[in-house]
A and B are shown apart, each in its own frame.
Chain A
């Protein structure tokens, strides 16, 4: 990426485009995950623990769920950060909220991944 000469990029660092695209890509991944869970859950079988745990049992389903968890964390980070940026004007409070959001999301993601591979 050139920062000088006739081909220099003069309009920002494309954070907006990156976040816009990331939110859509992660959303599509989560939508696919939703369809996969629903399809497997609605398969014929007696409702109960075995059926439910069976939904997440295959390795490919674990991998898809893992990807969906990471997508959710990234997606929620972009969205929640937008909310803090729009409504919280104090830099100190905003920083605190952003740090809290990262801890909240990483904590939940780690917990969910632990559940997944204990299965």
Chain B
């Protein structure tokens, strides 16, 4: 994780040792607040989205387990589960519940495909810049298309 493309950026730091000391590159994490100010290559975008999607799923994990619980426990709870997507729950409108679910779908698809990309790179030693670039584009396009496809189903467009 530490050597991922989004994780480090070289910056120069003046040495205080001597006046003529040459500046050396220092490798640091890009802080969360700086992400948007960087123009990342596709591989870098996939890398940071892999992390963001993972954190999103971690945060929403209780919602996922609640869905598992409500949908599996009994026919009555199953009806309650489907009703949440039709009428909302606890003051939250149904479209909001669907939007959160869409976020989860996106996170799962991107994280899954980006993970397959990682394992594929490890197994085949595909570590060239060109391969990283093209597989990152495939990851972004495929996860977006699948999210749109399943999202349209979720919002009842077909």
Q: Do A and B come from one complex?
A: yes
Chain A residues within an 8 Å CB radius of B54: 76, 79-80, 83
Q: Size of chain B's interface in residues, with CB distance under 8 A?
A: 30
Chain B residues within an 8 Å CB radius of A105: 58, 61
Chain B residues within an 8 Å CB radius of A56: 72
Q: Using A27-B115, A28-B119 as known contacts, say yes or no to A86 and B7 having CB atoms under 8 A apart.
A: yes
Q: Size of chain A's interface in residues, with CB distance under 8 A?
A: 28
Write the nearest CB–CB distance from B116 to chain A, whole angstroms: 7
Say yes or no: A86 contacts B29, CB within 8 Å: yes
Interface presence of A115 (CB below 8 A):
yes
**Chain A residue, CB-CB nearest to B74:** A49
Say yes or no: B55 contacts A80, CB within 8 Å: yes
Interface presence of B32 (CB below 8 A):
yes
Chain B residues within an 8 Å CB radius of A87: 29, 31-32
Write the nearest CB–CB distance from B101 to chain A, whole angstroms: 16
A interface, over-half SS: helix
Interface presence of B13 (CB below 8 A):
no
List residues of B (45-92) whose CB comes within 8 Å of A's CBs.
51, 54-55, 57-58, 61-62, 64-65, 68-69, 71-75, 78-79
Write the nearest CB–CB distance from B50 to chain A, whole angstroms: 9
List residues of chain A with CB under 8 Å of any chain B CB.
24, 27-28, 31, 34, 48-49, 52-53, 56, 76, 79-80, 82-83, 86-87, 101, 104-105, 107-108, 111-112, 115-116, 118-119
List residues of chain B with CB under 8 Å of any chain A CB.
1-2, 7, 29, 31-32, 51, 54-55, 57-58, 61-62, 64-65, 68-69, 71-75, 78-79, 112, 115-116, 118-119, 122
